[in-house]
Amino acid sequence: MDKFVIEGGKPLKGTIPISGSKNAALPLMAASLLGNSASTLHNIPRLKDIYTFNNVIRVVGAQVDFHEDENKLVIDPTHVNHLEAPYDLVRKMRASFYMLGALVGKHGYAKVSLPGGCAWGPRPVDLHLKGMEAMGIDISLEKGYVIAKANDKIEGGSFRLEPSSVGATVNLLLASVLKAKKFTIKNAAKEPDVVQLCNHLVKMGANIDGIGTDTLTIKAVNELKGIEVSNDPDRIELGTFMIAAAMFPGSELTLTGCNPEHLGSFTKQLKKTGTTVDIDGTTIKVKAPDTLKPVSIKTEIYPGFPTDLQAQWATMMTQAEGKSKVTDTVYFDRFSYVPELTRLGADMEVEKNTVHISGKTPLIGASVMSTDLRASVSLVLAALVAENHSDVLRIYHLDRGYEDLENKLSAVGANIKRVDED
C-alpha cells in the first residue's frame, strides 16, 4: 500500500488546475446508460472511483472507453444485456447503486447489490427504495441484492425525501425519466451535481421541471439520445485547496478552471477567517492571513456549507487563534480524522456531532492513518503545516477522489512524495 512522505512547515505558492468533479461525473456516467446511442463525457477525472464505475458499467455489457490523456470517457450502452451489478464491485463504491435507477429506468429490471457501509458508519439507501416504490416500481430484497421491476410505463406519483438526499435524488431521476408518466420528487437535493445531471438528461431529451429547486417533476419520454457534454469542475477539490492556501502564513494559491458558484456558503465563511479570496471568472486567488480568525461552521445541504469540506475546515481551525466548533448535520459521526490530528498535536474534542477546536496549536509531524476520503486529505493538509516529517498511510482512500494530488502540491512548493509502503 502506498503512503505519502511529507516534510511540512513551509508556505505554498503557485497555481493549481482544478480537475473534473468525481461526484458530478458518476451520475452522468449512469445517465449515459439511458441513451439509445453512445455518450461522450469530457473533464472526467482519472480517479479510482471512476475506474471502478467503468468496470461496473462494463459488467452490464456497455462499451466503455476512457481516453485518460484527454480525460474523455465514451460510453456506448447499445449492447447492454446483463441487468445486474455485483456485490464485489458495488461494495467498493457506493455510487454504483445508481445502476439500480439506470437499469430499471431503461430496461424495466435491475438486480443490484446493496452498497456496503462507509468508514464513518452505515449509509442507508431506504429513501432510494421507498421513492422507487412510490413511483410504482416493484422492489424486493434477496440475499443482499435489490431487485427492481417496472413494466413499460408506470403511473408515477410523488415522494418526499426526508432528509434530502443527493443519491436518492439521482437514482429517482434515473428511474423515472423513461418510465414514470408523472413523478414529483419533493425536498430533492439541489447540489450542483444534481443540477448538472438534470440539465444533462434534458439535453438527452428528458422532460424535467423545477431544475435547481427542491421540487423536481419528471414526465416520461419515449427515448433518450446519447450526447456529448463537459463535466463540472470539482467543488470539493477546489474548497480543499482554498483551505490549503489559507492555513499557513505566506501561502498564496491561484486555482484555475473553477466554478465559484458551486461553493455555496463556503467562500463567505472562508473570508471571515481573514483569508483573502479574489474571484475572477473561473480563477480564484487565495492568500493566507498572518493570523487566522476562528470561525465556527455547521454543515448543511446545498447551498449550505458542504459536509465534504467539514474535516478540512476543522483541520484549518487548529491553526486559528482561538476556539471554534464544527458541527456536521448531514453525517453525525464523520470525525474519524480527529484522533489522528490530535496525534499531530491538535487540541480537538468531539461531542456528539460537533468537534470543539482550540487553536492555534503547532503541529508536529508523525505517522497518521487515512480512514476515508475527506479525512485522508485533511491529514495531508495537517502534515503540510506540521514541522518536520509526517507519513500519511493508506492513501488509497485519497486516490479515490483527488487526481494527481502529490504532483499538484509539489508544483506549488510542497515537499511530498508517494512511497510504496510494502
Hey, which residues are catalytic here? 118
> C-beta of 215: minimal distance to ligand EPZ in Å?
17
Distance CA 312, CA 300 (A): 15
> C-beta of 198: minimal distance to ligand EPZ in Å?
15
Q: Which residues pair with 369 in a beta bridge?
A: 393
Closest CB to ligand EPZ among residues 99, 189: 189
> C-beta of 309: minimal distance to ligand EPZ in Å?
10
Closest CB to ligand EPZ among residues 126, 280: 126
* Alpha helices by DSSP H, 126-233: 126-135, 166-176, 192-204
Closest CB to ligand EPZ among residues 198, 288: 198
Chain center to CA of 126:
20
Comparing C-alpha atoms, which of 383, 339, 335 is closest to residue 363?
Answer: 383
Distance CA 131, CA 136 (A): 9
Distance CA 88, CA 66 (A): 22
Compute φ and ψ for 238, nearest 5 degrees: -60, -50
Distance CA 420, CA 422 (A): 6
Distance CA 333, CA 335 (A): 6
Q: Which residues pair with 15 in a beta bridge?
A: 254
List of residues contacting ligand EPZ (CB under 6 A) = 23, 26, 94-95, 123-128, 163, 165-168, 189, 193, 307-308, 330-331, 373-374, 401
> C-beta of 66: minimal distance to ligand EPZ in Å?
18
> C-beta of 110: minimal distance to ligand EPZ in Å?
16
* SS3 state of residue 355: strand
**Paired sense of beta strands 72-76 and 63-67, if any:** antiparallel
DSSP for 211-260?
A: TTSSEEEEE--S-B---EEEPPB-HHHHHHHHHHHHSSTT-EEEEES--G
Closest CB to ligand EPZ among residues 38, 100: 100
C-alpha cell read off for 184: 414529483
> C-beta of 121: minimal distance to ligand EPZ in Å?
8
> C-beta of 79: minimal distance to ligand EPZ in Å?
26
Closest CB to ligand EPZ among residues 307, 367: 307
- Please list, residue by residue across 277-298, b when 16 or more beta carbons sit within 10 angstroms of its beta carbon and e when fewer do: beeeeeebbbbbeeebebbbbb
Check if the beta carbon of residue 146 is closer than 8 Å to that of residue 139: yes
The residue number with the shortest CB distance to ligand EPZ is 167
**Residue 187 backbone zone (phi > 0: left; psi -120 to 50: alpha; other: beta):** left
Check if the beta carbon of residue 380 is closer than 8 Å to that of residue 408: no
Check if the beta carbon of residue 282 is closer than 8 Å to that of residue 259: yes
Closest CB to ligand EPZ among residues 165, 390: 165
* CB neighbour list of residue 339: distance below 8 Å, 6 or more residues apart: none
Closest CB to ligand EPZ among residues 107, 123: 123
Closest CB to ligand EPZ among residues 124, 249: 124
